[in-house]
Amino acid sequence: MAIRIAVGALGTGLTREETTWLQRALAGTGRATLIVPSFAVRDACRRELARAGMGVGVDVLTLGAWVASLWELLGDGRRLVGGLERKLLMAQVLAGAPEAGEGDAPRALTPGIVALHARAAAESLPYIERAGEAAAAREGDAVAPVLSAAERALVQALARYGEELDARGLTEPSVAARLIADQVRALAPACARAVAVHGVPELPEYALELLEACAGAGEVLLCVDAGMAGMAAQLGRRLGAAVERCAPRDPDAAGTAADVPAARFAEVAGPSARDAAHTVLVLDAARAGDVVAASPDPLALARHLAPRLAARGVASRVEARLRFSETRAGELFFMLIDVLDRMGNEEPVAWWPAPELVDWIRSPFAGVWSGAARIACASDKRWRGSRLVDADGVLRELRSLQSNETRLESDRAQESGAARRPVAVFDVLEALGAGDYRAALQAMLGVAQAASPGMFGQGGMVAKQVEVAALGAALACLADARRLGTPPAAALPVLSDLPVKVSAAVEPAARGDGLGAVAFAALDAAAEGAPASAAAVLLLDLDADTCPCARQDTPATVLARKLGCAGASATPAERQRVTVRRALAGGRAGTLAYVARTREGEEVFPAFALDELKNALGAGAAVVAGLPTEYALAQNLDPSGGEGLALETVSCTPAHALPRHLAPYLYLPDMVWRGAVVPRRFSASSIEAYLSCPYKWLVTNRARSKRLDAAFGPIERGNFVHDIMQRFHERLIEAGLMRVTPENVERALELMRASFEELKADHARGKFTHGKYARQGAARVRSPYVPLGELERSRLASVLPMLEGVVRAEADMLPIFTPELFEYSFDAADLRYAGRPLGGRIDRIDVAPDAGSGERFVVIDYKTGGSDADMASPDPTAREDAEAEVSTWIPGRDRDKAPVVQTLIYAQAYRRIAHASPQGAAYLITRGPKVAAMVDEALTSMEPPAFPSGRVYAFPDLPAPGKKSKKPEGTLGFTEMLDAVEAGIAEELDRLEAGEIAPAPAKDSCKYCPIKMCEKRR
Ligand code: SF4
């Protein structure tokens, strides 16, 4: 067999060995074939052959084109299946696959699954047929013991795919190649007697068999790049041929480390210096002429560098390939399919508040021509602000938007005489919902064509062209799917993977003197350039993550090995080595760079090829110095590199200090309420926030930002519980029970359950239809507790057992008191507390008859969470180290706890409003339930006690009757304590008004503080 394997330093052009061999072959047979890895190499080889006087007689073809040309001559009339057809047919086969067996998870039809099967079909189909594996697998016998479940499924899919090809008069190039090989062995046609292969990094088994057949009829020369020695050894073993070295075509040909002209190495400090450092490298190179800047992701590189280069007078262009799903149109197309699917089949929690539809409205494919951004923002705000939005309602809104826009567009067209632009904001959704993807893409294309370039963002006309081309390619793909009978849903994974060519150019306002232009390219594309055709080649972002060397096994590769049809291929490391060195050879100078740290500061390793090259050059490896570091933040962020920036040092007030002249604005005494100027009132919770930490108060009360999304959190749960408790006590009164007692607990529980159901329904509809709020006409439920999914529904359901526990606990609580006021608002009372206007709403006030000092009362505040230990403080005078007199007191301060004073403020407020006798201030924590209370000593010494359980502190704190205590007796009565707290708060509010806003947290102040980045957080 006349097969020679030669290893040498290959470039894009021919080696001397190849040229001589082809000349000899032409002289002998009159024609020869040269197989090359890509179209770019094909063109370069054709030029070289023409220069060498072999312009006629040598067919320069890629492997696929070679098989196709031979099939034209020696085939049986079937047509070779194309790449897109293969994927569409395979998707069709996989979509129609029988249900997975018991225990097998059903497999989603993803782009990756389709690609894996398509690749296996392209390379392994004839070997499966040959071995009879497909038939055996269908019957589940002979193959079963040697193949895994995944491989058996693959074999079955390939067998069905083979049948589909037969039914359509199609065949795989791999099947065709084996048939051609038979013909070549039998006929030895002139076109197959001299074949040379130049630097192809992957030769499937069918190609090797065909080459063997050609060698039997004539001669074959396989030239392998020296960087792919592993592949050469594989070929030697497979073909039984020796591996020889061949000389490069010219003494200056590139391909080895020693041939790399002036390669330099750059280590960029980190991501924030990346763009600035790359700009310096490119600019430096562009002074010598045109530059190629290659990277694993050339589009991202161009997006970051092109504006910076344009600012310095350098023109740039980029050519790359994207998948359809990576274009803006593709991204939206698949996003809409996904969100519509969730809206139709899943709970609201899976799609609400539909940000995808907001993006869609403002996109240049929807056709909302009048104020798309404004309409999108308004829709976003509306949908996020309510959990009562349903899928049908959202779609109704979009349908009405379509009608409005269509009418406006018709009016505009009539007035201006211009053509009416299409509107597709709802039409596309309707088509997608009906599975008519072609109609949806057609509508998007119509709008995109009518849209102005400005609607596509900074990319302008170039971006518009890319999107229009992508939509056109997608429509062509769906047309092919229809022709082949592939269902639209099965074609989606193929559509997602569809390659779309992208090109763009950025011109500076004025080109810089003596500066070349920059072409951004993928590494593979850069490796196909003619040697030394650019002034410099820069290979950027060459790190181990973006250029991995691991070879990944899939069921397809394992199956190919088991079938003995794995062919020969270079490893990822070999390919990377050759790609990098060939790319470098494209420039008269070269630089390799990588970013050495991640955003998180972790070390990044350079790509294998960079490291290897640097080691090969040893001490001669030049390292670029003086690149911008991450410390030059202003220059790095500025697209102009900080040119013209003036650095000024200004003095400002220290952090958290308010300049004295601004203090009066910190808390303005008045506010406008419904058109009238009214005094600004403090609330108990805002006072508590200030006592907890002044800076927390500033941010949460004065710089208050509105939440975007209606939530299902503690605030909503708290509101729900308050509403139920209010309604429950109202029902108790309506039923003549007045309060819960041990005798009426069962009846009270029934009333609680009824109240729960009423309020659950009211919150679900966002409107009160029961109780005091409904009667007062305040029908809207603020922050309703609306579950959107199973988990949230179970959280809502857990409220009832919790409140049933509260009902049982209330039977023994405050026995001589009767709940009288619920959600009592004292805003209208014109009350002053701590010298300032105070407003608020008290959850509940329980009263008892006068015992000599006015009607007795206890204020109760409901809490749905929290610790009883934090909510009440003991008498500060009942301690060894206590001061004789306490005129001001902030509870909790002595224990480094955030003060909890809400009920104490309310007790003092109601005392002042009703001239009544305060007996206690209690928190009823519904989870548990638990009680934390500060009460008059009379309530703890009475029989039965007011609070039989809970954390209850008496004022003054005296020993129980008949008992002795080691600690001193307290002296602070309950009403004196309320006065002392008010006096303490007055001092704190004085500080607030003086502008004291620096963080001063207690040890538990920061626990729920929303200021996550606060440097004083404890
Ligand atoms: S995190 Fe802590 S210190 Fe900072 S503002 Fe919030 S409560 Fe104050």
- Cα separation, 249 vs 230, in Å, equals 22
State which of 1011, 1012, 1013, 1018 you would mutate to test the pocket of ligand 1, scoring each by most atoms of that ligand within 8 A of its C-beta. Answer: 1011
Do 433 and 420 share a structural domain? yes
Closest ligand 1 atom to residue 696 Cα is 5
Do 427 and 347 share a structural domain? yes
Do 291 and 329 share a structural domain? no
Do 595 and 738 share a structural domain? no
**Which of 745, 761, 786 is a domain's end point?**
786
Query: For tokens 């638990």, what's the residue?
Result: 930
| Ligand 1 centroid – CA 702 distance (Å) | 15
Closest ligand 1 atom to residue 1014 Cα is 4
State which of 691, 692, 693 you would mutate to test the pocket of ligand 1, scoring each by most atoms of that ligand within 8 A of its C-beta. Answer: 693
pLDDT at 693: 97
Do 376 and 233 share a structural domain? no
| Ligand 1 centroid – CA 999 distance (Å) | 6
Region 10-39: mean pLDDT is 88
Q: In this structure, is residue 92 part of a structural domain? A: yes
| Ligand 1 centroid – CA 705 distance (Å) | 16
Region 16-39: mean pLDDT is 90
State which of 897, 996, 1014, 1015 you would mutate to test the pocket of ligand 1, scoring each by most atoms of that ligand within 8 A of its C-beta. Answer: 1014
pLDDT at 437: 96
pLDDT at 782: 86
| Ligand 1 centroid – CA 1013 distance (Å) | 9
Residue range 595-650, pLDDT digits in tens = 999 999 899 999 999 999 998 888 878 999 999 998 888 888 888 877 788 878 88
State which of 691, 1006, 1013 you would mutate to test the pocket of ligand 1, scoring each by most atoms of that ligand within 8 A of its C-beta. Answer: 1006
**pLDDT of 530 higher than 60:** yes
Any idea which of 106-110, 574-578, 816-820 has the lowest mean pLDDT?
106-110
Helix (H, G, I), strand (E, B) or coil at 514: coil
Question: In this predicted model, which residue has the larger pLDDT, 664 or 463?
Answer: 664
Residue 553 banded pLDDT, cuts 50, 70, 90: confident
| Ligand 1 centroid – CA 1009 distance (Å) | 6
| Ligand 1 centroid – CA 998 distance (Å) | 9
Residue range 163-211, pLDDT digits in tens = 999 999 999 999 999 999 999 999 989 889 999 999 999 999 999 999 9
- Cα separation, 212 vs 222, in Å, equals 11
Q: In this structure, is residue 189 part of a structural domain? A: yes
| Ligand 1 centroid – CA 690 distance (Å) | 11
Closest ligand 1 atom to residue 1012 Cα is 1
Q: In this structure, is residue 808 part of a structural domain? A: no
pLDDT at 136: 53
| Ligand 1 centroid – CA 230 distance (Å) | 62
What b-and-e string marks burial along 408-441, b requiring 16 or more CB atoms within 10 Å of the CB? ebeeeeeeeeeeebbbbbbbbbbbbbeeebbbbb
| Ligand 1 centroid – CA 657 distance (Å) | 15
pLDDT at 638: 85
pLDDT at 755: 97
Q: How many other C-beta atoms lie within 10 A of the C-beta of residue 851?
A: 12
pLDDT at 131: 65
Do 333 and 306 share a structural domain? no
pLDDT at 55: 82
Any idea which of 41-50, 132-141, 352-361 has the lowest mean pLDDT?
132-141
**CA 207 from centroid of its chain's CA atoms:** 43
Highest mean pLDDT (candidates 183-187, 254-258, 530-534): 183-187
Question: In this predicted model, which residue has the larger pLDDT, 511 or 252?
Answer: 511
Do 148 and 137 share a structural domain? yes
- Cα separation, 503 vs 299, in Å, equals 9
Closest ligand 1 atom to residue 699 Cα is 5
* Residue 97 burial by Cβ neighbours in a 10 Å radius (0-12, 13-18, 19+): middle
**pLDDT of 513 higher than 60:** yes
- Cα separation, 471 vs 903, in Å, equals 64
Residue 905 CB-half CA count within 13 A: 31
| Ligand 1 centroid – CA 691 distance (Å) | 12
Residue of the nearest CA to atom 7 in ligand 1?
1006
pLDDT at 343: 96
**pLDDT of 105 higher than 50:** no
Closest ligand 1 atom to residue 694 Cα is 8
DSSP string covering 270-300: -HHHHHHHHHHHHHHHHTTS-EEEEESSHHH
Closest ligand 1 atom to residue 693 Cα is 8
Helix (H, G, I), strand (E, B) or coil at 539: strand
Do 349 and 226 share a structural domain? no
pLDDT at 636: 87
Answer whether 544's CB lies under 8 Å from 300's CB: no
Do 455 and 343 share a structural domain? yes
Answer whether 868's CB lies under 8 Å from 951's CB: yes
pTM tops 0.85: no
| Ligand 1 centroid – CA 897 distance (Å) | 13
Q: In this structure, is residue 353 part of a structural domain? A: yes
Region 269-289: mean pLDDT is 95
Closest ligand 1 atom to residue 1005 Cα is 7
| Ligand 1 centroid – CA 1016 distance (Å) | 6
Answer whether 356's CB lies under 8 Å from 336's CB: yes
Q: In this structure, is residue 951 part of a structural domain? A: no
CATH number, domain containing residue 586: 3.40.50.300
| Ligand 1 centroid – CA 710 distance (Å) | 25
Q: How many domains does the chain have?
A: 5
What's the mean pLDDT when you consider all of the chain? Answer: 90
Residue of the nearest CA to atom 5 in ligand 1?
696
| Ligand 1 centroid – CA 547 distance (Å) | 44
Closest ligand 1 atom to residue 1010 Cα is 6
Q: In this structure, is residue 879 part of a structural domain? A: no
State which of 656, 695, 1004 you would mutate to test the pocket of ligand 1, scoring each by most atoms of that ligand within 8 A of its C-beta. Answer: 695
Residue 256 banded pLDDT, cuts 50, 70, 90: very low
**pLDDT of 134 higher than 50:** no
pLDDT at 247: 60
pLDDT at 97: 67
**pLDDT of 261 higher than 80:** no
Can you state the percent helix, strand and coil of the chain, rounding each to 5?
Answer: 50, 15, 35
Closest ligand 1 atom to residue 1015 Cα is 4
Q: In this structure, is residue 10 part of a structural domain? A: yes
Any idea which of 376-390, 619-633, 835-849 has the lowest mean pLDDT?
619-633
Q: In this structure, is residue 994 part of a structural domain? A: no
Residue of the nearest CA to atom 1 in ligand 1?
1017
To the nearest whole percent, how much of the chain has pLDDT over 70? 95
Region 252-265: mean pLDDT is 56
pLDDT at 262: 62
Answer whether 978's CB lies under 8 Å from 972's CB: no
State which of 692, 699, 700, 1018 you would mutate to test the pocket of ligand 1, scoring each by most atoms of that ligand within 8 A of its C-beta. Answer: 1018
| Ligand 1 centroid – CA 66 distance (Å) | 72
**Which of 767, 786, 805 is a domain's end point?**
786
Any idea which of 202-206, 831-835, 940-944 has the lowest mean pLDDT?
940-944
Do 720 and 603 share a structural domain? no
Q: Where are the beta strands (DSSP E) in 357-482?
A: none
| Ligand 1 centroid – CA 678 distance (Å) | 31
Residue range 291-329, pLDDT digits in tens = 999 999 998 899 889 989 998 999 999 988 899 999 999
Residue range 360-376, pLDDT digits in tens = 999 999 999 989 999 99
Residue 274 backbone phi and psi in degrees, to 5: -55, -55
Domain that includes residue 225, residue range: 2-77+173-245
Ligand 1, residues at Cβ distance < 6 Å: 693, 695-696, 999, 1001, 1005-1006, 1009, 1011, 1014, 1016-1017
Long-range contacts of 887-890 (CB under 8 A, 24+ apart): 887/980, 887/983, 888/980, 888/983, 888/984, 888/987, 889/972, 889/977, 889/980, 889/981, 889/983, 889/984, 890/691, 890/981, 890/984, 890/985, 890/988
pLDDT at 101: 46
Do 301 and 269 share a structural domain? yes
Closest ligand 1 atom to residue 695 Cα is 5
Helices and strands: H and E segment counts in the chain: 36, 29
Do 59 and 17 share a structural domain? yes
**pLDDT of 145 higher than 80:** no
**Which of 504, 538, 560 is a domain's end point?**
504
pLDDT at 366: 97
